[in-house]
Structure 1
Amino acid sequence: MVSTLPRVVIAAPASGHGKTTVATGLMAALRRNGRTVAPFKIGPDYIDPGYHALATGVPGRNLDPHLTSPEQLVPLLLHGAATPRRADIAVIEGVMGLYDGSIGGDGFASTAHVADLIGAPVILVVDISAASRSVAATVHGMATFDPRVHIAGVILNKSGSARHSGEVIEAMAQTGIPVLGVLNRDDGISAPSRHLGLVPAAERDEAAASIDRLAAQIAANLDVDEIARIAANAADLAGKPWSPASVVSPPSDLRPIVAVAGGRAFTFRYAEAEELLVAAGCEPVIFDPTRDTSLPEGTAGIYLGGGFPEIHAAALSANLPLRQAIAAAVAAGTPTVAECAGLLYLCREVDGSPMSGALDAAGSMTPRLTLSYRTAIAAQDTLVARAGERVSGHEFHRTQVDPPMADGRSAWLLDGAPAGFSTDPAGTGTPTLHASYLHTHWAGHPRMAQRFADAMHRFAATSPATTSQESVPSTAVSPAPAVVEPDAVDLHHHGDQEIGEGLVDFAVNVRLDAPPDWLAQVVNSATASLAAYPRASAASEALAQRHCRHLSEVLPTSGGAEAFTLLARALPRHQAVVVHPQFTEPETALRAAGHEVTRVLLSANDGFALRPGLIPDDASSVFIGNPTNPTGTLHRADLLRAIARPGRTVVVDEAFMDAVPGEQQSLVQRSMPGLVVIRSLTKTWGIAGLRAGYAVGDAAVISLMAAQQPTWSVSTPALEAIVACSEPRAVDAAESAAALNVRNRQILVDGLTELGIAVAGNPQTPFVLADASAVKPVRAAEGWLRRELRDAGFAVRRCDTFPGLHADWVRIAVRAPALSRRLLHAVAAQTGRAHYLQGAS
């Protein structure tokens, strides 16, 4: 199999020349030029791929012939360049100096070695701050040292002046290697460092803004089009993409939940690990040990990757409920894999800060850095290996654990010495815990992922409560449904009714005051063809292409509200269920069309979590939001799929899904009988007045909806907007906006929490649901905070018009940090807690 993939490697003569800065900025600049970029990092690095992910909107991946094998690099490259969507170009950041590889390995695993294996041209980044003409000699030596390496261009970094760089450029002319651009000194775009290198992107609130500045600087000072041309000249690749499904398989029909540690303290893991677990029939669910107070419901396995628990020890220690939950789960025999940071988190303490205590050991910082590739041997059967098996890995830490291994059962033999922990805390007869400092890349050792998955399937089979809800038969005993009949709640109230002259708008969830310039231009240009009747074919084709669906499975609509009306008119009038609290338009449309509507109320006590067993068995249709308005709850995709029944229509409102990074838990690309997904473009793109949305799903249901839709229902400007918002550049822009929303939302959540106002669950939306009842002044009337804020000049959304919520709930839109802080000051003033926010700006 031969594949065409434009690709380029960004290298340097040594560390510190600016590879990460240039590679990350180039990725971002290419993306802003409309290209889909696949990011890669040579070597075992975790931190740089985090910046790559921010720059490109897709996971950063690693190419390392030591951790996998030289033969796997092209398949892994092709896989990463096609996941989650096909890339126009791959940008690969090198490691250390161009020819620096494994010590004693004659350049094995070096940037040059990998560039040769994948047939990629090299662009050299050179720090010229302490040299001029000598730079050309250095580049000439690099270019002639190994004839298998093709240096196609040079980027001069840290120039002191135009005169300085001009001297270098003149000397470079003698080498015949083109200079592709010059970057001046700019400390403002450098990532801060700490004891293990760069600070991970997930820990830097300003990382996205830095990348935006860097992209602009790269675009202004480098010949990005020439770099793309160099990449396009790379030879075709022989081989087929790596596939996780070809190396692992599900051992049962269950879908056990594997809780994967994430958040700021646990940022180190390879993207392929989760893909392998999914292919092995597991359902990875990310949880944040610094914030989440419990493991995901149904956890049948725990994966604790790498990161910096020593830096976030205070936050990890403060989360006592989760520490206790982790310890209890491990003690109960829940299959658990922990690498490096995960090992430390399982200890009793780290430098005096209490951890989970699942292991009788203590971690501490040391002055010595351990950084090396390792070959490990399993001394006996463990959770992930069999006695005598060898694996390759790497260590990267400044901590130590005392004792360094379990009594008699180590995780590995490293250079013949036992290290790590392989234990059977529940006395099952086989180890269920595997913890060590060794990082392994499961794509190179897929049997480790398979054995971990096998253990989770076995655990789930013996503990039915831990299986995902999708695997529970419809005859299983379910909790009593929280079903209520419709009452006099004002379902016609919407957020735009809250705003008024002189009020700062925190009530409406539209992200922008006006559409971006490129979209406004598209809409304005459409007015030239308003004399002709609208044609929806181009919009339908764009939607089908974006979501990988057949044309018969998509329908453009005049906003999401029209889609609900069409469904209400099209579906048989039997028992319709609406899962509340949620957007009220579905119930309004159903009742207007003559349906009997039953409400199922989710509870604030568990963060409005979905339990499929709450849905009445005789429900002919079920309507639910994901993520849900107004709760902000993002339901797991497997739980939504578990609602499906033969003959039942399941309608999922994903109006805010494009505000979720990576659109995690979306069902829009899932073809399933009876499933319909509703999307809206109005919120993200500032076109609420235009009304643009669409439905995607079961072709039979879509056909029924189309039959109810008035001719020319969607205007020409709206159809043109649908096309434009489906293009890759718009999808990438939405992903960037989603990442920014996460950071801005956290400011709002942290401020409200500090003021004693409870925020519902773990919101994943551009708004939060807040309960002000705990700080309610004596003798204050219901809805007091909304009214007080209105008097102070702020509009928030009242929530007693959502079934299941009371008047002291308010929905607050996420805004820019400065606006959110103004609102928080107003809240502080109304709650008598202004001292909590002293010094905030």
Structure 2
Amino acid sequence: MVTLPRVLVAAPASGHGKTTVATGLMAALAARGHVVSGHKVGPDYIDPGYHALATGRPGRNLDPHLTDPALIAPLLLHGARGADLAVVEGVMGLFDGQIGGDGFASTAHVATLTRTPIVLVVDVSHASRSIGAVVHGMATFEPGVRIAGIILNKAGSARHASEVVSAIERTGIPVLGILQRDQGVSAPSRHLGLVPADERDEAASALDRLVDQVSASIDLDAVIDVARTAPSLTETAWDPTAHVSRAAADSPVVAVAAGRAFTFRYAETTELLEAAGCTVALFDPARDSRLPAGTRGIYLGGGFPEVHAAALSANASLREDLRQAVFDGVPTVAECAGLLYLCRTVDGHPMVGALAADAVMTPRLTLSYRRPTLAGDQLLGVAGTTATAHEFHRTTVTPVHGDNPAWTVDGSPVGFAGPTLSASYLHLHWAGHPHLAQAFADAAATAPAHAGTMLPSAVASVPTSVPEPIADPLRHHGDVEARDGLVDLAVNVSRLPRPAWLETALAEGLAASTAYPDASTAQAAVARHHGRAVEDVLVTAGAAEAFTLIARSRPWRRPVVVHPQFTEPDVALRAAGHRVSHVVCRAEDEFALDPTAVPRDADLVIVGNPTNPTGRLHPAAVLRSLCRPGRVVVVDEAFMDFVPGETHSLTSHRLLGLVVVRSLTKLWSMPGIRAGYVVGDPRVLADLRGQQAPWSVGTPALHAVEATTRPEAARETYCRARQVQQHRRVLIDGLVELGVPVTESEAPFVLARPGPGLHSRLRNAGFALRRADTFPSLDDSWVRIAVREPSITRRLLTTWGVHTACI
């Protein structure tokens, strides 16, 4: 009999917040001093990564299909050795399991097998009293499944939460906690689900915030009380040494792929190999130049090689070493991501080339349990051997199998196999099939150690290109660089098509252009949008006109521009005859603005937010602190609409001398329609109106201004901003993997510092990046890169890796 306090976190359906709550509970309980064991129902690899981060212990999977129902409680006890508390996260809805399996492998099934009380997480954002009916139905649907507590997620207000709690009280099940709608700490999505914890540099800080919120909003003592009601378990903990025998006396080295591109493998896989006498040596295919010394077996598990294709492609020495090892007969198992990595290419990016196949991304997700059979005698066993597995990918491989397929699934051959190779999309949990681990360990025990590939020790260096001189750097813009058929990463205008409603507005504006423009309707629309008076708004022909009006509006005594910054304010002030002072934000301070660096006698201060080209988003409080009597502060928010929720925008702040410049050019893909506006101190705007030429803003632009302030535009703005946020992460992660210093950005571009000459080399390779030496205080070691869709970004990164690998 083993006493193990435990709870299982479940939900009525996916998307209710199981991962957030389960991970938060693990971390909060660990912070209290508990030794917590984290587990996940189902085949998922990503959530256990968060669990490991929260508990400091390996995340474990409990899946009756992949192993065996009889193994679930033993695997739970094995994973919880030395822990005083276990938290299990469910999968999908509580009763959702294998299709056609009547709930087999569902969360409820695992709860029954382990006799674990359930804490149900319910998203209440779209209902109130009806939640009581949902809880009642979940609690009574299947006998033997015990829901012992409820956690409400995304409650809208105290009154809303009270209504839900009152409805649930009728079921007799206690509410253990309430998370408010604005408290959610969500993990960013990746094309297969959540982003692995290993890929998130900010994961630890996000976890700290989650601990604070869970501790404040959930009764942890009540959760522990529920966990202690779990009955003792009569099963014996699973032990890998009981399922495999030692394959050799000399501990053959098995190289196991790890790092950011290969994060998916079950903890029991390496434990079985170690129990069989193997020495597990982790290597990072994106960074290590050779396989581990003495490698006699290779295991390539799951992950995202398509996401990290640039770094993998750039590491030519490891690719060559691995290819030769496979060709030399080093026993190799490749599952899913490993299969892709062994192909010739992934989305056109060069990979290992050990398989005569190519892989590409597709819009279709393949997600299914499988019951495969070995198609012939191969590395993992003899023909006819059966197993259980799962597939989880958005790629396809052509051809889908070689002359010797690894498996047959529903009678169809899949994968590639041989005496020393097994490669397919199938993920297998070796705890359920320990004979596979034994076969692999036996093969490694008899294989000779990989001698390594002899590659040239040095490659001829590429001469550093000297940037072409520019007559007037302040007038240099990205559109000058995006020419000659180059891939445009220099211009910051969105590549997304304009929405149909905006196209209609522009067409209507063109049709109405038979009369002189009237800006009054557009100005009123902007005023409503920002909650300002009409006199607080001036519509302009883009941000460029606004800067010209500002420069001419007053006899500025000491105008100051904060740099690095968009150069148009300097140009406008210089053209108006002013002598401009600069305040420089330094790279070593992450381009943060120190308000005390601005001269006290400055009567005009211009600063970008987010700033071009750094992407730095200055806190609103810092910018407000610049305001003082006798000073005008101009905040250029040309890229603020790319910030989800427009946090730190100052458009609604009414401060003496504060004006905000906005542009519609970038987000709405219309650089040829000069549309923008200024919002702020009406006295300053009155001076700007005095400088503005009649009818300077054309009728199509005015219609665009009005259209982009409507509610449907706000929804579209948020969606576009979130998409840019996700695509920017791909670019930043890829650059970091290539070892390129990158400035964190909140804009549709990224400032990177690869060193002198790369701008020209990439231009010769077909990519136009924005040179940064034309921005005051930056030199030619910097480049600005526009955020594009991941397929283009990965092409850039692959080319970048090639051009830096040979320097």
Query: 2:56 maps to which residue?
Result: 57
CA contact (8 A) 1:14 1:96 kept: yes
d(CA) in 2 for partners of 1:373 and 1:262? 24
Alignment of 1:23-42 (within 5 A): 23-42=22-41
Alignment of 1:697-736 (within 5 A): none
Alignment of 1:636-715 (within 5 A): none
Q: Secondary structure at the match of 1:14?
A: coil
> Residue 387 in 1 paired to residue 387 in 2?
no
d(CA) in 2 for partners of 1:94 and 1:330? 38
> Residue 221 in 1 paired to residue 220 in 2?
no
Query: 1:17 maps to which residue?
Result: 16
**Shift, 1:97, TM fit:** 0.3
Query: 1:97 maps to which residue?
Result: 93
CA contact (8 A) 2:330 2:450 kept: no
> Residue 412 in 1 paired to residue 400 in 2?
no
d(CA) in 2 for partners of 1:205 and 1:453? 35
**Shift, 1:186, TM fit:** 3.2
Cα distance, 1:208–1:839 mapped onto 2, change above 3 Å: farther
d(CA) in 1 for partners of 2:740 and 2:372? 47
d(CA) in 2 for partners of 1:227 and 1:206? 28
**Shift, 1:834, TM fit:** 6.1
Query: 1:378 maps to which residue?
Result: 374
Q: Secondary structure at the match of 2:388?
A: strand
Query: 1:432 maps to which residue?
Result: 420
Alignment of 1:745-764 (within 5 A): 754=740
> Residue 157 in 1 paired to residue 153 in 2?
yes
Cα distance, 1:106–1:753 mapped onto 2, change above 3 Å: closer
Q: Secondary structure at the match of 2:170?
A: helix
Structure 2 alignment gaps of length 5 or more: 453-731, 742-754, 757-772, 786-807
Q: Deviations over 1:509-562 (max 9, x none)?
A: xxxxxxxxxxxxxxxxxxxxxxxxxxxxxxxxxxxxxxxxxxxxxxxxxxxxxx
d(CA) in 1 for partners of 2:363 and 2:22? 31
Query: 1:782 maps to which residue?
Result: none
Alignment of 1:298-337 (within 5 A): 298-337=294-333
Amino acid at match of 1:452: F
d(CA) in 1 for partners of 2:215 and 2:779? 45
Q: What percentage of aligned pairs have identical amino acids?
A: 62
Provide the TM-score with structure 1 as the length reference.
0.55
Cα distance, 1:79–1:422 mapped onto 2, change above 3 Å: same
**Shift, 1:750, TM fit:** 6.3
> Residue 241 in 1 paired to residue 237 in 2?
yes
Query: 2:278 maps to which residue?
Result: 282
d(CA) in 2 for partners of 1:753 and 1:364? 26
Q: Deviations over 1:388-426 (max 9, x none)?
A: 11100000011111111111x111010010000003xxx
d(CA) in 2 for partners of 1:839 and 1:354? 26
Q: Deviations over 1:1-49 (max 9, x none)?
A: x111011000000000000000000000000000000000000000000
Cα distance, 1:274–1:68 mapped onto 2, change above 3 Å: same
Aligned partner of 2:356 among 344, 352, 360: 360
Q: How many residues align?
A: 474
Aligned partner of 2:443 among 431, 438, 455: 455
**Shift, 1:232, TM fit:** 1.1
Structure 1, 213-222 or 378-387: larger mean CA deviation:
378-387
Cα distance, 1:752–1:70 mapped onto 2, change above 3 Å: closer
Aligned partner of 1:422 among 417, 422, 431: 417
CA contact (8 A) 2:13 2:93 kept: yes
CA contact (8 A) 1:754 1:836 kept: no
Cα distance, 1:199–1:752 mapped onto 2, change above 3 Å: closer
Q: Deviations over 1:55-95 (max 9, x none)?
A: 0001100000000000001110110001xxx0010000000
Q: Secondary structure at the match of 1:240?
A: coil
Cα distance, 1:752–1:340 mapped onto 2, change above 3 Å: closer
Provide the TM-score with structure 2 as the length reference.
0.57
d(CA) in 2 for partners of 1:839 and 1:236? 60
Query: 2:107 maps to which residue?
Result: 111
**Shift, 1:252, TM fit:** 1.7
Amino acid at match of 2:343: C
Q: Secondary structure at the match of 1:323?
A: helix
Query: 1:268 maps to which residue?
Result: 264
CA contact (8 A) 2:255 2:280 kept: yes
Cα distance, 1:834–1:273 mapped onto 2, change above 3 Å: farther
Cα distance, 1:180–1:104 mapped onto 2, change above 3 Å: same
d(CA) in 2 for partners of 1:400 and 1:752? 26
> Residue 136 in 1 paired to residue 124 in 2?
no
d(CA) in 2 for partners of 1:229 and 1:207? 29
**Shift, 1:837, TM fit:** 5.7
d(CA) in 1 for partners of 2:79 and 2:115? 16
d(CA) in 2 for partners of 1:456 and 1:29? 42
d(CA) in 2 for partners of 1:173 and 1:72? 37
CA contact (8 A) 1:259 1:301 kept: yes
d(CA) in 1 for partners of 2:393 and 2:450? 38
Amino acid at match of 2:177: G
CA contact (8 A) 1:151 1:177 kept: yes
Q: Deviations over 1:185-232 (max 9, x none)?
A: 237610011211111111111111111111110000000111011101
Amino acid at match of 1:20: T
Query: 2:204 maps to which residue?
Result: 208
CA contact (8 A) 2:311 2:738 kept: no
Alignment of 1:48-87 (within 5 A): 48-82=47-81, 86-87=82-83
d(CA) in 1 for partners of 2:339 and 2:281? 20
Q: Secondary structure at the match of 1:238?
A: coil
Query: 2:337 maps to which residue?
Result: 341
Query: 1:444 maps to which residue?
Result: 432
**Shift, 1:752, TM fit:** 12
Amino acid at match of 1:451: A
Q: Deviations over 1:263-287 (max 9, x none)?
A: 1111110000000000011111111
Amino acid at match of 2:269: A
**Shift, 1:385, TM fit:** 2.1
d(CA) in 1 for partners of 2:740 and 2:68? 50
Query: 1:4 maps to which residue?
Result: 3
CA contact (8 A) 2:154 2:184 kept: no
Q: CA RMSD in A?
A: 2.3
Query: 2:503 maps to which residue?
Result: none
Alignment of 1:461-540 (within 5 A): 463=449
Kindly report structure 1 stretches of 4+ aligned residues shifted beyond 2 Å.
Answer: 463-466, 749-755, 832-840
Query: 1:683 maps to which residue?
Result: none
Amino acid at match of 1:269: R
Amino acid at match of 1:39: G
Amino acid at match of 2:35: T
Aligned partner of 1:147 among 126, 143, 151: 143
Amino acid at match of 1:239: E
